[in-house]
Structure formats: structure tokens, C-alpha cells
Amino acid sequence: MNLDLEVFYGETVNYFQNNTYIAIALAGVLLLLLLKKPKLFLMIALIVAVNVASLYVISKISSVGLDEKNKLVQQTSQRLTAY
């Protein structure tokens, strides 16, 4: 499974563009959290950043493995059709 972060980002932006009230409410909650409890806000931001980074690494690792698998399958099918 290849996780494409650009597609995920595009879908997220599209969702918030289609649901502006939800986007405004979420931005308001985050702003309030930043102003009232900045330590909690920064902790949430750190958790989100770690999750995004780990998904990026998993995406890159899985795409390399998937490419290798596809190459092996293609080589095997070429050998079988050659006989």
C-alpha cells in the first residue's frame, strides 16, 4: 500500500474548503487553545508533527518495497512468457 501524502493533503484541503464552518470552528478552537493553554497546544502540535513525519517515512519505505516487488513480478512473468 502506497501512502501518497500529497493526495491526503489535497483531500484534507478539499474537505475544509467544502465545509467552511467546520474549518472556522477548528481554527477557533486551536486559536483559543493557543491563547489559553499554549503548553497543551504545543504538545498537540508536536504529536501531530511526529505522526506526519512517521507517516512520511512509512510511505517512503513502503513505496520502495512495492517497487521492488513489482520488478520481481515483472521479471518472473517475462521469464515465464519467454518459455
* pLDDT value of position 35: 95
* pLDDT value of position 1: 46
Domain coordinates of the chain in residue numbers? 5-82
* pLDDT value of position 28: 94
Task: Yes or no: say if 58 and 3 are a contact pair by the CB < 8 Å rule.
Answer: yes
How far is the CA of 43 from the CAs of 2, 5, 21, 48, 49, in angstroms?
A: 29, 23, 25, 9, 10
> Could you tell me the mean pLDDT of each successive run of 10 residues in the chain, 83 residues long?
68 90 92 93 93 83 73 80 74
Closest-CA residue to 44 (of 24, 59, 23, 29) = 29
